[in-house]
A and B are shown apart, each in its own frame.
Chain A
Amino acid sequence: MTTQTVAGMWAAAVALVVCATVGEKVVSRQASTDKVTVIYWEKWTGSEAEEMRKVVTAFNHSQDKIFVKYLSISGVDTKTMLATAGGDPPDIAGIWQDQICQFADEGALTDLTDMGKAAGLDTSYYIPGFWDGITFRKRLWALPSTPASIALHVRTDLVPPDVNTPETFPKTIEGLDKLVDRISKKRKDGGLQLAGFLPSDPGWWNWAWSGLFGGKLMDGDKVTINSPEAIRAFEWIDTYGKKFGSKEVQSFQSGFGNFGSPQDPFMDGKVATEINGVWKANYMKVFKPGTPWFAVPIPYPADRPDLAGHTILSQDVLTIPRGAKHVKEAFEFLKYVQRQDVMEGLCTGHGKNSPLMKVSEKFFDNHPNKSIRLFDALARSPKAFSQPKVGIYPQMSSEITVAFQEVTTEQKTPKQALDDCQARVQKIWDTYKAQVAGADK
């Protein structure tokens, strides 16, 4: 190798470094000319992203000072936290309601209380359950993008004629159990063919079982994951493992397709009933049009009639990370999304109910979900509940899911699983209070 070759190699290396630096410049965010560019990170892709993009485009046309740039970011929550830590967060981040407390405790969010007040966005403007979800420690941290309430979806064609209407369908847990025994089918080889109901499908609200049986996960400052109601709920879940055989359920479920595909167990006719959100209708429309279904409120234990008409609330929310460069402009966009016509358009597009107190008749008439009035009524019910507002919620939620799986895979009894979970979460909560939540009080 001659000196020239070596020099050439070094030149190539230098050229590469230059290329990369230039390359990074190119891939870094491009600013629009004279307007203030607001960077907006959102979790959605596909048709849900398309609907939000329409809102963004309309907003950009509506005025000449701000340009909102919509970017789909996978793992938007972790990425937002990292970018905030890195000192270069987006101006708007679309996260989930259940992360607000953790983000707020970490100091990762801009306090929106004053701006919200000035814009007239207050408790009277929103359905109470949804307003509650965006406030924490008496401050406002986020504004809703699209909310949802949850109900039991039933396949009309898979239940007997005497219960195949919302009016005749069993209202209680006990009634549901009886129905499940009636309609579940096994294959010749012993495997499941049709499950009337499966507590682990889709498995997104494991933290909510306690609430659906009348329990609370937090009582004031105390963790109460193993409340008698929760144990009762998990014991009920356990009966399903015994009913079908836990191994059979596992192998049955491993064959379930993704919820956004025609192989979704509900669309595919593998489960006759499923707890799911208001968006389910939209997915059915896209992936298996013509699936016959109806929705009813989630059943309640027969001895707790006070729980009739309950639901779980969840929300996608818009936040302004701390350290965002264009807070005022970002809030302009947030405010725009809260306009009744804009919000109703977006929620119609996503097939969800509206978080706003006032809803137009037009919204109900044009909505793609035939049961939208039910979901709206459920959301307004005083019995509607969300996850507890604590900074350790992400951990609490994974711990409860583990307890749930320990029961469904028959590793622990319901009581044992919940007692262990309680001890662990209480410990995490005590440490957290001492180290994090206490620090900024």
Chain B
Amino acid sequence: MSITTTDAKGDLETDPNASKPQGFRRNKTLFIALTHITLIVLSVTFFMPFLWMLVTSIKPIKETMTNPPTWIPSQLLWHNYPDAITYDSKELGYLPFPTYARNTLIITLLSVAGAVTSNSLVAYSFARIKWPGRDLFFALTLATMTIPFPVLMVPVFSLFRWIGWVGSFKPLWVPAFFANAFSIFLLRQFFKTIPMELSEAAKIDGCSELRIFLDVIAPLSKPALSVVALFTFMGAWNDFLGPLIYLVDQHTFTLSLGLQAYQSQHGGTQWNLLMAASVIVVAPVILVFFFAQKVFIQGIATSGLK
């Protein structure tokens, strides 16, 4: 590092701009303006597909494939939404999208519950209880992060087949109750930042490890726990390969699989309905993120993912 940290804070606080040349302030304004412009351009790029998705979701089918594409629908077909939800329901005998959504929710919520409980217990053990072989086992745990899922896919499938779980949701959420390396790592880093003195004081009061974990550590770890919850949520919500292998009946499909079925099965893809369905799938996740993002980022920052 070529920078030496000098303690110049005091000067700056009294008058932040006093010591800076005139040009600096102009530069700063320019810099902020540039930042804004870049951000807006990038936002438009990132947001364009979604705007397109929204626009298309209320278009008549004929306008979804015009050349050149039109941004403004000739009429606003809000009934595309109920249509998307009830699509095929007569033939299938149930409402596909609410069914897929319910299935996805069941799997996702169970995975989150499993991941949060199991990972926090394990990480607590790695971070704050001494036992023989712990550090070696932790190193092994980190090493397992490099194993790609496809490597384990075939034997895990055979295992679940042997138990008779193929076709049920269990292969998709039960493993979450057995922790995973990434979440353990993340939580362990966080738990390590909590002073040991807190635990020791509690121990003197006669608290068991479980009580310390529940009453002292867990309440302090909400940001990190929410990160694990959110990552698990996103992983389960977006999972495609898992449901593709384990789910068999169409009425047990998740949203990911359901959307694909939409695209490939109905000869003429009903783009407007597909997009309406996608909006329905995506909207709740966006809302969750929008309101949870602060805790989320704080959680990653303080757990020191590095």
A interface residues with partner B (beta carbon < 8 Å): 1-3, 6, 12-13, 16-17, 19-20, 23-24, 27-29, 45-46, 49-50, 53, 71-75, 79, 82-83, 85-88, 255, 257-263, 283, 287
Contacts and interface: CB of A to CB of B under 8 A. Distances in A.
A249 to B, nearest CB: 18
A6 to B, nearest CB: 5
A283 B267 contact: yes
B167 A86 contact: yes
A86 to B, nearest CB: 3
Interface in B148-173: 161, 164, 166-169, 173
Contact of B268 (A72, A74, A75, A258): A258
Nearest to A2: B215
Contacts of A23: 102, 106
Contact of A1 (B88, B219, B266): B219
B161 A85 contact: yes
Given A72-B92, A74-B250, A261-B267, A82 B106 contact: no
B257 to A, nearest CB: 8
Interface string B102-119: 110010011001000100
Nearest to B218: A1
Contacts of A287: 268
A88 B99 contact: no
B34 interface: no
B249 A71 contact: yes
A45 B99 contact: no
Contacts of B110: 16-17, 20
A94 to B, nearest CB: 13
Contact of A260 (B88, B102, B248, B267): B267
Contacts of A86: 161, 164, 166-167, 248
B229 to A, nearest CB: 12
Contacts of B252: 24, 27
Contacts of A45: 88, 91, 265-266
17 contacts: A6-B218, A16-B110, A19-B106, A27-B252, A45-B91, A46-B266, A46-B267, A71-B92, A82-B246, A85-B161, A86-B161, A86-B167, A88-B164, A258-B267, A261-B65, A262-B268, A287-B268
Given A20-B173, A258-B269, A74 B113 contact: no
Interface of B: 65, 67, 88, 91-92, 99, 102-103, 106, 109-110, 113, 117, 161, 164, 166-169, 173, 214-215, 218-219, 245-246, 248-252, 257, 260-261, 264-269
Contacts of B250: 71-74
Given A16-B113, A85-B161, A73 B267 contact: no
**Which DSSP category, helix, strand, loop or mixed, fits chain B's interface?**
helix
Contacts of A16: 109-110, 113
B61 to A, nearest CB: 9
Contact of B113 (A13, A27, A263): A13
Given A16-B110, A19-B106, A74 B265 contact: yes
A71 B168 CA distance: 17
Nearest to B215: A1
B109 A88 contact: no
Contact of A83 (B65, B99, B248): B248
Given A1-B219, A16-B113, A74-B261, A260 B268 contact: yes
Contacts of A75: 261
Contacts of A6: 214-215, 218
Contacts of B92: 71-72
Contacts of B102: 23
Given A17-B110, A260-B267, A83 B166 contact: yes
A53 B91 contact: yes
Contacts of A85: 161, 166
A134 B108 CA distance: 43
Nearest to A6: B214
B218 A46 contact: no
Contacts of A19: 106
Contacts of A255: 67
Contacts of A82: 166-167, 245-246, 248
A254 B117 CA distance: 49
A322 to B, nearest CB: 15
B219 A24 contact: no
A20 B249 CA distance: 17
A255 B246 CA distance: 35
A87 B168 CA distance: 12
Nearest to A263: B65
Contact of B215 (A3, A257, A260): A3
Q: Which of B91, B167, B215 counts the most A-chain CB atoms under 10 A from its CB?
A: B91
A257 B270 CA distance: 12
B275 to A, nearest CB: 15
Contacts of A71: 92, 249-251
Nearest to A7: B214
Nearest to B91: A49
Given A2-B215, A29-B249, A258-B269, A24 B91 contact: no
A20 B106 contact: yes
Given A1-B219, A20-B173, A85-B166, 17 more contacts: A1-B218, A16-B110, A17-B110, A23-B106, A29-B249, A46-B266, A71-B92, A71-B250, A72-B92, A73-B249, A74-B264, A83-B248, A87-B161, A88-B164, A88-B167, A258-B267, A261-B65
